[in-house]
Amino acid sequence: MVPLLGLIIGILIGVFFIPVNIPQQYSNYVAVAILAALDSVFGGIAANVQGKFDLKIFLSGFFGNALLAAALAYIGDQLGIQIYLAAIFAFGNRLFLNFAIIRRYILNKSAKKDNI
């Protein structure tokens, strides 16, 4: 529940209170960092559903993944290699896997309520 609450609060703050314009040259880095952060949020929700959530692991993964993904995208650009595409694939894949876990949990939970 903590990751979902944090996501909602972050979206509300970002949309309504702190309008930010990202320069075009940084858009790839920010996009990869946001995707990595969303992967961590969905991973946190999936871990919470499975009863394995640990706040320290979530926070270290949230910031660590975002910073590492942005840094790798920057290094790739400096080398002339589009490394950010690999990051998009990896984090996108994990995001959908975590979403599948969450979806199964919700469907199983609603099916149990229907049987009662």
Give the pLDDT confidence of 37-58 residue by residue, as tens digits. Answer: 889 989 998 999 999 999 999 9
How high is the mean pLDDT of the chain? 87
Total number of domains constituting the chain = 1
Tokens read off for 84: 């950010």
CB 28 within 8 A of CB 73: yes
pLDDT of residue 116: 56
DSSP E strands: which ranges in 1-116? none
pLDDT of residue 1: 67
Find the mean pLDDT for residues 1-27.
81
Measure the CA–CA gap between 45 and 12, rounded to whole angstroms.
19
Range of the domain at 57: 2-115
